[in-house]
A and B are shown apart, each in its own frame.
Chain A
């Protein structure tokens, strides 16, 4: 690839997303009265799919792979395209495509839908940039590029008090945590004199008097990562933001934005602060992540179990899943051969999660479009009126719970097995206990839809609306969740190969 095309073309997945966003903004600005929601949605979906195709093509062609000349670095080493970056870009582009298709029906009567599509694509561009970042400066700029459109997206329904409140709380916690993250970066710069990951790593090996400064900096960076991935102690925004935001935005944030937090975490902590050198300097971040992972998954799952609203339950469940994925960092040990297996499994889990969780939130979007209410009881008997969508929702729920015939089972199985092989039996055990708890609240949704009777016979009459695009997005996410079952072998191989490049 790099031998036949200029190196910058390795960034084309991110460029395609960004250019599509700019094109939408341009059309909306010069022809404000002739824009149509449908054409906007089609163009955004095509842009996201083009980015996805290029990414998949790169993965198959071996761009950035060790066999094909290794990672492609650009801009004085500040940007690095490798298999890890491409793997996560594929997640971001898929989720973006699903969300913009679903948004077509969700915002069918909205005044200015173009803003939604361009903001979503700009956030996706930031995520794709985050995946290739090889410098703390690029990480921070890209992180803000994800965050700023996200705040606006959460508060997108300007006249809806819930949406505005959610946007405010997301903004308050987000601005605070990005300031903390930035101060952490500045302390790392003070201690090491560089922002490029490789140079930071070699400086971390020879820290002396400044080890304390770097340590505080790293803890602050952990805090910034915890915000982006919605992990304890910076998880407070997540239930509010996901509940109040328009459901397609919740889907986007809880799947793509969370995966973006993880790509930063995986890359920064393996490449800039290698575990061996960090522990030698007295900074054991793996232990910090182990505690965060344990608390996050337990809190997320137990809080989800007591919710009455499906959307809020999914919000807490997404906190729980952040806890599982954090095992990928927490269960690392210096020089262990099992490191790439556990991190690869965490990446594969995030890919599967990208489809099943997006699908679940889009089902909630469909319920909001139908106007049938938000609680478990409101979903009673839904399967009789909308059997296809409810079957898809059941697939998402069982897959999220990690039941055997679904893709979510395999990703969790590999994750827990990897943790056990690396000597973290307690984390895997805690994860298994939490999965059992999660089965309770996920099956509540399925029971309400398939077994319970509607409260009143007329309760479901609103379902006569047929949001075709939403249906298509939900069904496609379900098909992807099921197809990832036979397709899990190539996915986990790609993920482990990507993780192996980090160690």
Chain B
């Protein structure tokens, strides 16, 4: 069996890739994908340690997270849609009606 710490490193790596995407991309759709990556990094931890400890909590919670991530994307796409209608772009740096 693969030692548990390798899963931790894998998850941390995926999380950092997602975080890098969030910080460097200004396209709202890339942002959604990057956040999805960060949430799935947590899922890797949940599933791996569920196996390691031999209880099902982590696996069941990972299923919850997948559903919640989908709901979050649904809301996100809705907001991106009205963003496009109002500003004609999905670049998150474009709207500057208020001071940031």
Write the residues of chain A forming the contact surface with B, with a CB cutoff of 8 angstroms: 137, 140-141, 144, 148, 151-152, 155, 158-159, 161-162, 164-169, 171-172, 175-176, 178-180, 182-183, 185-187, 189-190, 193-195, 213, 236, 239-240, 243-244
Given A161-B86, A165-B97, A165-B98, verify A171-B76 contact (CB < 8 Å). yes
CA of A239 to CA of B98, assembled, Å = 9
Distance between A61 CB and nearest chain B CB, rounded to angstroms: 33
Contacts of B71 in A (CB 8 A): 144, 148
Interface residues of B in 17-56 (CB under 8 A from A): 18, 22, 28, 31-32, 35, 38-39, 41-43, 45-46, 48-49, 52-53, 55
- Contact between chains at A151 and B79 (CB < 8 Å): yes
- Contact between chains at B46 and A158 (CB < 8 Å): no
Nearest neighbor of A76 in chain B, beta-carbon distance = B57
- Contact between chains at A172 and B53 (CB < 8 Å): no
Contacts of A213 in B (CB 8 A): 8
Contacts of B55 in A (CB 8 A): 193-194
- Contact between chains at A244 and B97 (CB < 8 Å): yes
Given A171-B76, A172-B31, verify A183-B68 contact (CB < 8 Å). no
Contacts of B57 in A (CB 8 A): 137, 189, 194-195
Per-residue 0/1 for B76-91: is the Cβ within 8 Å of any A Cβ (1 yes, 0 no)?
1011101101110000
CA of A25 to CA of B44, assembled, Å = 36
Distance between A11 CB and nearest chain B CB, rounded to angstroms: 19
- Contact between chains at A185 and B75 (CB < 8 Å): no
Distance between A82 CB and nearest chain B CB, rounded to angstroms: 23
User: Which single member of A141, A182, A236, A240 contacts B39 (CB below 8 Å)?
Assistant: A182
- Contact between chains at B8 and A243 (CB < 8 Å): no
Write the residues of chain B forming the contact surface with A, with a CB cutoff of 8 angstroms: 4, 8, 11, 15, 18, 22, 28, 31-32, 35, 38-39, 41-43, 45-46, 48-49, 52-53, 55, 57-58, 61, 64-65, 68, 71-72, 75-76, 78-80, 82-83, 85-87, 92, 95-98, 100
11 examples of A-B residue contacts, CB within 8 angstroms: A148-B71, A151-B75, A158-B85, A161-B95, A165-B95, A165-B97, A167-B82, A171-B75, A183-B41, A186-B46, A193-B49
Distance between B74 CB and nearest chain A CB, rounded to angstroms: 8
- Contact between chains at B98 and A189 (CB < 8 Å): no
Nearest neighbor of A236 in chain B, beta-carbon distance = B100
- Contact between chains at B22 and A189 (CB < 8 Å): no
- Contact between chains at B49 and A166 (CB < 8 Å): no
CA of A194 to CA of B49, assembled, Å = 10
CA of A166 to CA of B39, assembled, Å = 24
Contacts of A180 in B (CB 8 A): 38
Distance between A375 CB and nearest chain B CB, rounded to angstroms: 14
- Contact between chains at A195 and B49 (CB < 8 Å): no
- Contact between chains at A176 and B22 (CB < 8 Å): yes
Distance between A300 CB and nearest chain B CB, rounded to angstroms: 16
CA of A194 to CA of B53, assembled, Å = 9
Given A176-B22, A193-B55, verify A155-B82 contact (CB < 8 Å). yes
CA of A173 to CA of B75, assembled, Å = 14
CA of A175 to CA of B30, assembled, Å = 13
Contacts of B82 in A (CB 8 A): 155, 158, 164, 167
Contacts of A171 in B (CB 8 A): 75-76, 79
Distance between A230 CB and nearest chain B CB, rounded to angstroms: 16
- Contact between chains at A152 and B98 (CB < 8 Å): no
- Contact between chains at A179 and B92 (CB < 8 Å): no
- Contact between chains at B79 and A159 (CB < 8 Å): no
CA of A10 to CA of B95, assembled, Å = 45
Contacts of A175 in B (CB 8 A): 31-32, 35, 72, 76
- Contact between chains at A190 and B79 (CB < 8 Å): no
